[in-house]
Amino acid sequence: MFESAELGHSVYKSAYDKELPALREALLNAQFDMETSKKFPVIILIAGLDGAGKSATANTLNEWMDPRFIQTHGTDAPSDEELERPHMWRFWRQLPPKGRIGIFDGSWYAWPIFERAAGRIKNPKFDQALEEVRRFEQMLIDEGAVILKFWMHLSRLAQKRRLKKLESDPLTRWRVTERDWRHFELYDTFQEVSERALRRTSTAEAPWIQVEAVDSRYQKLMVGKTLLEQIRLRLNRPAPQPEIIQAAAALPDLDGRNILKSLDLSQKLGRPDYERELEKYQGRLNLLTRHKAFWDHNVVMVFEGVDAAGKGGAIRRITQAIDARLCHITPIAAPSEEERAQPYLWRFWRNLPRRGRLAIFDRSWYGRVLVERVEGFCSEADWMRAYGEINDFEEQIHNSGGIILKFWLSISQEEQLRRFELRRDSAFKRFKITDDDWRNRSKWDSYEAAICAMLERTSTEIAPWTLVESEDKYFGRIKILRTLCEGIEARL
């Protein structure tokens, strides 16, 4: 696979010096146009062997361009903050916003390749990890990113020569350590593992670009020119046509039944029962959050439901029971400017809790397949792919010890009207009702179809939805508290 990167590619100094000024100017201009248009981020991965000039390349790009608009990330050991979250969390934090360039020296490939080369995982697990990476990159591309993956290559002989040369010079001897030679002995294993990684993750839209790393002028020019060309291509690309997704059409409705209509909304709980149960479950929840095993986990709660279904009230009954320092509520409204410059899942990733903590999302990533779908804020292709992206997201939370509980609060159309009128007429609840609420209400049927599709496609074995009959607030709140306690207990 690496044959083409072992040909002794090189560029004469005179040619290099002649080309460089124009290239740097063009790169700066391209960067300026990117920054102005704010249409897409560029994500540059620099991977490959130790000693193949990875960090030198990153530094060169920073030198050639305006470093204020470039973020460069190494792969240091993860921080304790990072260790307590899904493996990909650190990379989500580091994603460049639209208009900017992010350089990853190492990146999401480092860990799987290293684990496989060290023999700590076998091919099935390795492929699983590579597939996670492939899906992640596909999502970035679908969200508009340009991804450039450079693989810096040295032949066995070339690497040996380089190490020897560094060692023989008193000025550079310190750069060659025991560890470098130990790694060198793994050369063949590392190549074999890398070939598999490259083969499985070289896609049409984000192929690997192999760069021979013997001659640094060649290496730098190659990276610089490729980068320039790709930014220009993307700037000039016409806006994509909205795709027609074959299978997106709603399924035929044959008998008028659906899961929402099947709920028994007449279920009630009397005040005295409610108060007794409330105390019981709040106490149980409090104990659970102080359980020793709880510190290996975290809880991610999602609250969705039509307007006025009682999300706020239910959330308060939970937070009342927990130490406020352990629990963070993220209310989801329109995204901030910073959030709009990122993939839509970014603002949820940034709010994932550490171990031993609870996160409550008052509305959530499901907005993508609900309001954004119904109101046409995103294309059909966008919300259709979102189901899979969301399932991937939740699987990563689950795999890192997260306990996911998703509540859909359901009320009837009549009850909603009653609550809306109450809010409108009550002085201290008036802020809770807006024109938007009335407008959403008029689209009840479209929302119902979207909700049913969401429940069907995202109620998974690792993160099932709980449907909460909330016509009676007491009944709904207790069902939520009970489900929450049982969900945590099942995992501890």
Binding residues among 364-423 for a second copy as defined by CB under 8 A: 381, 384-385, 387-388, 391
How far apart CA 191 and CA 61 sit, in angstroms, is: 26
Q: Which is nearer to a second copy, 12 or 444 (CB)?
A: 12
Are the CB atoms for 101 and 42 separated by under 8 Å? yes
Are the CB atoms for 151 and 44 separated by under 8 Å? no
* Contact pick of 94, 464, 482, 486 for a second copy (by CB under 8 A): 464
- Interface with a second copy in residues 209-238 (CB under 8 A): 209-210, 218, 221-222, 225-226, 229-230, 233-234, 237-238
First vs last C-alpha separation in the chain = 47
The least CB distance from residue 319 to a second copy, in Å, is 28
Are the CB atoms for 468 and 479 separated by under 8 Å? yes
Identify residue 232 by its one-letter amino acid code.
R
The least CB distance from residue 312 to a second copy, in Å, is 26
* Nearest to 484, CA basis, from 405, 368, 377, 388: 405
- Whether the CA torsion 76, 78, 81, 87 is positive or negative: it is positive
* Contact pick of 249, 324, 334, 490 for a second copy (by CB under 8 A): 249
Are the CB atoms for 477 and 276 separated by under 8 Å? no
Q: Which is nearer to a second copy, 260 or 288 (CB)?
A: 260
Q: Does 62 bind a second copy (CB under 8 A)?
A: no
Q: Which is nearer to a second copy, 253 or 273 (CB)?
A: 253
The least CB distance from residue 378 to a second copy, in Å, is 12
Query: What track of x and - describes contact with a second copy for positions 1 through 40 (by CB under 8 A)?
Result: x-xx--xxxxx-----------------------------
- Indicate the DSSP class of residue 263: S
Which pair of tokens denotes residue 32? 């300026």
Q: Does 204 bind a second copy (CB under 8 A)?
A: yes
Q: Which is nearer to a second copy, 179 or 257 (CB)?
A: 257
The least CB distance from residue 352 to a second copy, in Å, is 20
Q: Which is nearer to a second copy, 169 or 205 (CB)?
A: 205
Angle at the Cα of 89 from the Cα atoms of 86 and 95, rounded to 5 degrees: 160
* Contact pick of 71, 202, 330, 446 for a second copy (by CB under 8 A): 202
Q: Does 245 bind a second copy (CB under 8 A)?
A: yes
For a second copy, which stretch binds (CB under 8 A), given 24-32, 127-135, 321-329, 346-354? 127-135
Query: What track of x and - describes contact with a second copy for positions 158 through 197 (by CB under 8 A)?
Result: ----------------------------------x--xx-
* Nearest to 453, CA basis, from 392, 373, 395, 343: 373
Q: Which is nearer to a second copy, 357 or 406 (CB)?
A: 406
- Whether the CA torsion 78, 82, 84, 89 is positive or negative: it is negative
The least CB distance from residue 215 to a second copy, in Å, is 9
Which pair of tokens denotes residue 15? 């040619």
Q: Which is nearer to a second copy, 391 or 446 (CB)?
A: 391
- Pair type for strands 101-105 and 402-410: unpaired
Q: Which is nearer to a second copy, 455 or 485 (CB)?
A: 455
Q: Which is nearer to a second copy, 322 or 468 (CB)?
A: 468
How far does CA 229 lie from the centroid of its chain?
27
For a second copy, which stretch binds (CB under 8 A), given 118-126, 364-372, 434-442, 473-481? 118-126
| Cα distances (angstroms) measured from residue 274 to each of 124, 145, 280 | 50, 51, 10
- Interface with a second copy in residues 269-328 (CB under 8 A): none
How far does CA 236 lie from the centroid of its chain?
27
Q: Which is nearer to a second copy, 132 or 277 (CB)?
A: 132
Which pair of tokens denotes residue 458? 């995202």
Concatenated DSSP letters of 104-169? EESGGGHHHHHHHHTTSS-HHHHHHHHHHHHHHHHHHHHTT-EEEEEEEE--HHHHHHHHHHHHHS
* Contact pick of 63, 81, 131, 338 for a second copy (by CB under 8 A): 131
